[in-house]
Amino acid sequence: MNRVMSPLDRLLIGADRGLKTLVRGSATAQRPNPASGLARDDSPAHQRRLAAGLMRVNHTGEVCAQALYQGQALTTNNPRIKDSMTSAADEEIDHLAWCEQRLAELGSHTSSLNPLFYAGSFAIGALAGAISDRVSLGFVAATEEQVCEHLREHLNTLPKEDEKSRAILRQMLEDEAAHATHALEAGGVDFPPPVKRAMTLLSRVMTKTTFHL
């Protein structure tokens, strides 16, 4: 018989996952890195700095996604939604690990602002989960749509020679698009355009600040 976890149990598990999300080197991918086996690129320094900035933004986006899912899983009372959020968070860990590995290869680092963005995303996720499952799932769908837009932009911006970063982002795009679709199919509300535009403005703050920091 499975033990029913108390709110404190879930909080402690969430705190543990939070530490693993924020501590460098703690994320372990379950799937092979899409960039494995690709030839090392010898891009000029300015192109590597550009790629590193983009991958740092994407890494922070995955930190936010982890926090969002964990916050929602903490406050929802629907076991099916909780399992869905936990499964999505597990897949996002792959993205975290891949981005961190690529940043290391580029001689760069993850963002120093990650704890701040994690805390804010966790709070938003917990609030959305407490309001209703439809709102929670709708927020997932809208967030993943934003992430997909960023990934498409970055695929067009990356130096052409950087096939390793490109391979990672392509797989991430496929996964994030699936998360958005699943959230809507599970009953998530499709947020109106004004809400999505406001979310776009907030996401721009994250991308502008973490590109360098």
Tokens (6 digits) for 64? 């936010």
Alpha-carbon distance of 24 to 134, in angstroms, equals 34
Q: Are 186 and 132 in contact (CB under 8 A)?
A: no
- State yes or no: 163 annotated in a binding site: no
Q: Are 95 and 54 in contact (CB under 8 A)?
A: no
- State yes or no: 91 annotated in a binding site: no
Cα distances from 82 to residues 42, 72, 88, in angstroms, run 44, 8, 10
- State yes or no: 144 annotated in a binding site: yes
Alpha-carbon distance of 190 to 197, in angstroms, equals 13
The dihedrals phi and psi of 129, each to the nearest 5 degrees, come to -65, -35
Closest by CA position to 97, among listed 132, 64, 50, 62: 62
The kind and range of the H/E element at 116 are helix 114-131
Q: Are 106 and 48 in contact (CB under 8 A)?
A: yes
Known binding positions for Fe cation: 62, 92, 95, 144, 176, 179
Known binding positions: 62, 92, 95, 144, 176, 179
